[in-house]
Amino acid sequence: MAVNIYDTANQLEQELRETKEFKELKAAYATMHENQSAFDLFKQFQEIQMQLSQKQMNGEELTDDEVSKAHDLADQVGNVDEIKALMGKERNLNQLMNDLNQIITKPVQELYAN
């Protein structure tokens, strides 16, 4: 019997939506979104992270001003309870996804272990 790994992946995607970790992240995001200033700050923080990551991937140097701005935003984000809660839930979901990734990549790890 042939295995359609994409069917399995699609099933996993649906099951991920039903996990406690995802549901808690979704609820934390909704709570954070209700606080407009927290949501705006979060979006600004995401944007600066994306810009800095893009520059680094392109081999560009980050300016002192960019680094300072990122640190300032990180400090602000760290002082907003709704964002802190969201980031905690992100960590929980990321741990679950890391665990799943280890399971999924086990055949490759075993192959290279020999």
Q: What is d(CA 73, CA 77) in angstroms, rounded to the nearest whole number?
A: 6
> Residues of 23-41 as b/e, b for ≥16 C-beta within 10 angstroms?
ebbeebbeebeeeeebbeb
What residue type is 4 in one-letter code?
Answer: N
Q: How big is the CA angle at 112 (ends 8 and 97), to the nearest 5 degrees? A: 40
Domain ranges of the chain: 17-113
Q: How big is the CA angle at 73 (ends 26 and 68), to the nearest 5 degrees? A: 150
pLDDT value, residue 18: 98
pLDDT value, residue 1: 57
pLDDT value, residue 3: 75
Mean pLDDT, 10 residues at a time, over the chain (114 residues)?
86 98 98 97 94 92 90 94 97 98 96 90
What is the largest distance, in Å, between two alpha-carbon atoms of the chain? 59
- Please give the full DSSP string across 11-48, using - where no structure is assigned: HHHHHHHTSHHHHHHHHHHHHHHHSHHHHHHHHHHHHH
The yes/no answer on whether domain 17-113 falls in CATH 1.20.1500.10 is yes
Token pair for 106 = 């086990």
